[in-house]
Structures are given as structure tokens and as C-alpha cells.
């Protein structure tokens, strides 16, 4: 994932691109802890990468949160029905 801080605001980041590759029996996607989403996490990838394929998306999407909300990005994976998560970046 490539990103940059947006100048002039409290807690926004511009997501430039997301690239992800899954394992042969897995699906994987990237999410961020969205304070405006009732489910807490919003996907940064439009679809998961599955069965050993790769996915590259160019976003130019701005994500933002209140000043006291630490933004995180996580990798989520589904391995044969078992969903696991790993924080990969604190913005």
C-alpha cells in the first residue's frame, strides 16, 4: 500500500494504491478502521485476491478520521473458511 498525508487537515491520508497477492488456497483483502462505518472496518480493495492471483488498484482515495482516532490498515485473509487479520500499518 502506498499513501501520503494530506496537508492542511487533522487526520486524513490519501491512499494512492493497494497491491495484494493471495496464496493458492486463500483469499486476501485490505481494510482500514473507518470511524464512520457501523462495522468499524471498510475495505480498501474492491474485491479480494483469491486462489494465488494478484490484485492492484490505483485509488487516489482520501480516508480521514477525527484527531483522536488512530488510523490503522489491516490485511485480512480467508484460509479455507478461517478468517484472520493482521495490522500492517498505523497511519
User: What is the grid cell recorded at 69?
Assistant: 482516532
Whether the Cβ atoms of residue 18 and residue 60 lie closer than 8 Å to each other: no
* Cα–Cα distance, 79 to 28 (Å, whole number): 9
Q: What is the pLDDT of residues 72-81, one digit of tens each?
A: 999 999 988 8
pTM of the complete model = 0.82
How would residue 64 be classed by pLDDT, with cut points 50, 70 and 90?
confident
Q: Where are the beta strands (DSSP E) in 1-91?
A: 2-5, 12-21, 26-33, 41-43, 49-50, 54-64, 72-79, 82-90
Amino acid at each position: 500500500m502506498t499513501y501520503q498525508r494530506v496537508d492542511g487537515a487533522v487526520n486524513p491520508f490519501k491512499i494512492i494504491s493497494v497491491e495484494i497477492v493471495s496464496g493458492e488456497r486463500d483469499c486476501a483483502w485490505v481494510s482500514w478502521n473507518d470511524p464512520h462505518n457501523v462495522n468499524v472496518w471498510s475495505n480498501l480493495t474492491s474485491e479480494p485476491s483469491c486462489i494465488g492471483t494478484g490484485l492492484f488498484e490505483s485509488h487516489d482515495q482520501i480516508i480521514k478520521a477525527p484527531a483522536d482516532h488512530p488510523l490503522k490498515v489491516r490485511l485480512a485473509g480467508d484460509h479455507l473458511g478461517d478468517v484472520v487479520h493482521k495490522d500492517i500499518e498505523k497511519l
